[in-house]
């Protein structure tokens, strides 16, 4: 039961009889009268259970992009219904204008649309629909929260999308080139065409030229139908916040750019994500790849557990034994890498090309450079030591034949994409 703003006003009106008959009993009689009116009104208010509510599903949306959710409210009773409804969502769903006036005649229906603006990645949930229906006098209301389940999937931010056009242009350049500069095992023969000045003389096909009137060169196209396996580490080391963004989110950004790029390049993208257990194992296909990767990553949060690299490596192996580019998106945390990742790396490097992409913390460099007070100098020493250990771990990985990319969160996606293009151009995928 809830009372409305009319009740205090009505009580205040009691001043009139009190002035006319200034006695304590007048006050109590008036209070009793108002209470009676409120109870009567509450008793005669329609019940919120008379409303049948259904929610139309909302399709996934990028973090920070506006969308809306729609409820269909039907009045199943024959009575008029007047009141308020609040469609509650968790705060990061951004449901700001979620209060709706309800005015329905018997058997009438209405659509309530609440605008949403997700400010966090992941599955955002509703917290129920609260309905408050007034009695005929407007003094009291019946209030009840109805369960109307609903979810908004907010896809991870893809800020590095801006790097995609430039990388795609590079990809097209690769595609049309007469010959890849390095003639490795991976470049594939495409066709023969006439020699044009500027072509690499080494790509002239003498046997074909002998049969033709002109000099003919072989053209090559970059290898297609390769495999790219993205491994996203969601363990404790990914929970670290660099600036305002967790390392995991920066890693997702990089993963999405690489997925979009390699899908356009005609490669197959697989995704593995996990910590102590494998949380995502995904095979994508063709043009839907970027969306599928984004949706699979959307609801992942870092867990405060150590990564089980043995399990993750097994998941990578299960996705196929064919040679692939395995991108490990994990922070270069010396102890975690040395104890967890190093023992299982040989299994991966034997069959695949492995890249470790790590989000570097620029604060570390700043701390090392600040040397004003004793405290700062000690911290600088600690920062130097941490950096040195990171560097040593990176060297260790490189010695195992792993490419290590340790970059700031803004630069990592672009650097990873460029590295992929270099590998592709040189036929080392």
Partner 1 sequence: MSSGLRVRVRRHRTALILTAFVLAVVAISVVAGQRPGNTVPLDPENAGPDGARALARVLERHDVDVTVARGAAALESQSVTEGTTVVVTSTEQLGESTLSRLRDHASAGDVVLVDPPGWLTTSLTTPPTRVRIPQHVSGACADPEFSDLAIRTEEALAFDGPGCFGHTEGSLLVSPAAGLTLWGAGQALSNEQVVRADNAAVALRLVGGGSALVWYVPDARDLTAGDALPLSETLPDWILPGLWVLALSGLALVGWRIRRLGALAVEPIPVVVKAVETTLARGRLYQRAGDRGHAAVALRTASLHRLARRLRTGSHDPEDVVAAVVALTGRESGDVGRLLSPHSAAPPRTDRELIHLAGQLATLEEEVRHA
Q: Please, how many CA atoms are within 13 Å of residue 335, restricted to the half-sphere of its CB?
A: 4
Which 167-226 positions form the footprint of partner 1 (CB under 8 A)?
none
- Find tokens 């408050």 and name the residue: 132
Closer to partner 1 by CB, 29 or 208: give it. Answer: 29
Query: Taking the CB of residue 294, how many other CB atoms lie within 10 A of it?
Result: 23
Instruction: By CB under 8 A, tell whether 386 contacts partner 1.
Output: yes
Gap between the Cα atoms of 379 and 251, Å rounded:
27
Closest to 408 measured CA to CA, from 353, 373, 368, 364:
364
Which 15-74 positions form the footprint of partner 1 (CB under 8 A)?
15-24, 26-27, 30-31, 33-34, 37
* Selected range binding partner 1 among 269-277, 284-292, 372-380, 415-423, rule: CB under 8 A: 372-380
Query: Taking the CB of residue 121, how many other CB atoms lie within 10 A of it?
Result: 25
Which 316-335 positions form the footprint of partner 1 (CB under 8 A)?
331
Instruction: By CB under 8 A, tell whether 8 contacts partner 1.
Output: yes
Among 5, 149, 165, 198, binds partner 1 (CB under 8 A): 5
Among 92, 291, 349, 426, binds partner 1 (CB under 8 A): 92
Instruction: By CB under 8 A, tell whether 147 contacts partner 1.
Output: no
| 29 token code pair | 């009689």
Q: Is residue 275 helix, strand or coil?
A: coil
Closer to partner 1 by CB, 295 or 391: give it. Answer: 391
Least Å distance between CB 263 and partner 1? 29
Q: Is residue 428 helix, strand or coil?
A: coil
Closer to partner 1 by CB, 4 or 289: give it. Answer: 4
Beta bridge partners of 228: 269, 325
Which 256-315 positions form the footprint of partner 1 (CB under 8 A)?
301-304
Gap between the Cα atoms of 311 and 233, Å rounded:
12
Which 93-112 positions form the footprint of partner 1 (CB under 8 A)?
99
Closer to partner 1 by CB, 120 or 322: give it. Answer: 120
Gap between the Cα atoms of 7 and 22, Å rounded:
22
Among 175, 295, 306, 391, binds partner 1 (CB under 8 A): 391
């Amino acid at each position: 039961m809830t009372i409305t703003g009319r009740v205090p006003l009505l009580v205040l009106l009691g001043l009139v009889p009190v002035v006319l008959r200034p006695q304590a009993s007048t006050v109590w009689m008036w209070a009793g009268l108002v209470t009676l009116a409120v109870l009567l009104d509450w008793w005669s208010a329609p019940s919120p259970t008379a409303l049948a509510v259904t929610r139309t599903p909302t399709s996934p949306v990028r973090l920070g992009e506006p969308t809306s959710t729609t409820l269909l409210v039907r009045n199943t009773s024959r009575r008029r219904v007047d009141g308020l409804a609040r469609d509650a969502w968790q705060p990061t769903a951004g449901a700001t204008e979620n209060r709706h006036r309800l005015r329905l005649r018997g058997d009438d229906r209405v659509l309530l649309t609440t605008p949403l603006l997700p400010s966090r990645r992941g599955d955002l949930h509703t917290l129920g629909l609260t309905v408050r229906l007034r009695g005929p006098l407007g003094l009291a209301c019946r209030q009840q929260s109805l369960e109307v389940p609903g979810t908004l999937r907010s896809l991870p931010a893809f800020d590095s999308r801006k790097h995609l056009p430039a990388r795609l242009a590079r990809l097209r350049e690769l595609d049309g080139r007469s010959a890849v500069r390095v003639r490795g095992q991976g470049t594939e023969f495409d066709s023969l065409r006439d020699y044009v000045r500027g072509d690499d003389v080494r790509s002239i096909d003498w046997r074909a030229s002998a049969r033709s009137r002109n000099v003919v060169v072989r053209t090559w196209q970059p290898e297609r139908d390769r495999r790219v396996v993205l491994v996203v580490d969601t363990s404790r080391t990914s929970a670290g916040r660099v600036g305002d963004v967790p390392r995991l989110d920066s890693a997702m950004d990089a993963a999405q750019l690489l997925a979009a790029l390699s899908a356009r390049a005609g490669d197959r993208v697989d995704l593995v994500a996990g910590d102590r257990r494998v949380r995502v194992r995904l095979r994508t296909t063709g043009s839907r790849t970027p969306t599928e990767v984004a949706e699979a990553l959307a609801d992942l949060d870092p867990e405060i557990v150590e990564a089980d690299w043995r399990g993750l490596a097994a998941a990578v192996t299960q996705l196929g034994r064919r040679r692939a580019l395995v991108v490990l998106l994990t922070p270069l945390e010396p102890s975690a890498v040395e104890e967890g990742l190093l023992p299982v790396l040989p299994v991966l490097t034997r069959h695949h090309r492995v890249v470790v992409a790590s989000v570097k913390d620029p604060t570390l460099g700043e701390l090392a450079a600040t040397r004003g007070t004793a405290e700062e100098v000690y911290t600088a020493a600690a920062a130097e030591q941490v950096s040195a250990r990171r560097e040593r771990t990176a060297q260790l990985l490189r010695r195992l034949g792993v490419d290590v990319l340790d970059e700031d969160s803004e630069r990592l996606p672009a650097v990873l994409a460029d590295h992929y293009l270099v590998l592709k151009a040189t036929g080392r995928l």
